[in-house]
Amino acid sequence: MADPAIRIRNLVTRLGDRTVHNELNLDIQAGCLTAIAGSSGSGKTVLLRAMALLLQPVAGTIELFGQATTTLSRSAERGLRGRMGVMFQRGALFTGMTVLDNVAFPLREHTALPRSAVYEIARLKLRLAGLAPEAATLYPSELSGGMTKRAALARSLALDPDLLFLDEPTAGLDPVGATAFDKLIVHLRNLLGLTVILVTHDPVSLWEIADEIAFIGAGRVLASGPAQALTQSLEPAVRCYFGGARMQRAGASWDQK
């Protein structure tokens, strides 16, 4: 099998006096759509932040595309950052900038492209994320929740990443909007050949779009595999999670397809 896009070994993370991950191991295959699941507070977002170089582990290694991230030179780190896009749970758009300027921002920071090219690319990313051209001149406060997610997605795609990290992308969306967003993620993964890592509680996303699920509990990966395999897990916490009514309904609907 090819080397994984992300290889995590014996990861330990700590925040305040709480050890969030303790000897966590995980491989994420290139081109896969991997969901990080687990109960609230289990450390999904913290894991995503560690993979995205936004949080320094206490111990262990994270390799991205075969590069150990704990020993990176500044230029290697900058290079890796340019290969990843991150969409935060609440969008984290700059409130004083229009949507177009938000999407253009990473291009202005990380490339020497002329202004006209920056804005042409930013408009293209808005279209890729499914936003109408009219949204470009709006400010974040003028966007609906779904539009905010799409604007944040467009910004995370600005630098043509290989790795896309999404923190609860469908949280707060109505069911129709959530399904549309799930489809968009799959479409973009297929179109752009992305490796996608998404943190989610959404049973439909877990069943319908995740190739693999890494289930986090007790500071490590308790089980990994597609949703159907996790329903058979011998880990009580995983069985309990997948045995819940909402998860079972999503599984039954997936079964009927």
Ligand X SMILES: Nc1ncnc2c1ncn2[C@@H]1O[C@H](COP(=O)(O)OP(=O)(O)OP(=O)(O)O)[C@@H](O)[C@H]1O
Kindly list the residues in this chain that would bind ligand X in the complex (CB under 6 A): 15-16, 18, 20, 38, 40-46
Q: How far is the CB of 167 from ligand X (least distance, A)?
A: 8
Give helix 236-243 / helix 245-255 axis angle, nearest 10°. Answer: 70
Between 46 and 158, CB nearer to ligand X: 46
Contact 140/172 with Cβ under 8 angstroms? no
Q: How far is the CB of 196 from ligand X (least distance, A)?
A: 17
Find all residues with CB under 8 Å of 226, minimum gap 6, and list them.
210, 211, 212, 213
Between 18 and 249, CB nearer to ligand X: 18
DSSP string, 5-45: SEEEEEEEEEETTEEEEEEEEEEE-TT-EEEEE-STTSSHH
Tokens of 150: 């799409």
Between 18 and 127, CB nearer to ligand X: 18
Q: What is the DSSP letter of 141?
A: G
Between 45 and 233, CB nearer to ligand X: 45
Between 28 and 154, CB nearer to ligand X: 28
Between 18 and 246, CB nearer to ligand X: 18
Between 20 and 143, CB nearer to ligand X: 20
Contact 107/122 with Cβ under 8 angstroms? yes
Amino acid identity for residue 91 in this structure? G
Q: How far is the CB of 148 from ligand X (least distance, A)?
A: 18
Give helix 115-128 / helix 145-156 axis angle, nearest 10°. Answer: 130
CA distances from 244 to 117, 173, 203, 250, 251 (A): 49, 21, 10, 10, 10
Q: How far is the CB of 90 from ligand X (least distance, A)?
A: 12
Contact 129/160 with Cβ under 8 angstroms? no
Amino acid identity for residue 221 in this structure? V
Q: Is 246 exposed, middle or buried (0-12, 13-18, 19+ CB in 10 A)?
A: exposed
Q: How far is the CB of 85 from ligand X (least distance, A)?
A: 19
Q: How far is the CB of 97 from ligand X (least distance, A)?
A: 25
Q: How far is the CB of 3 from ligand X (least distance, A)?
A: 27
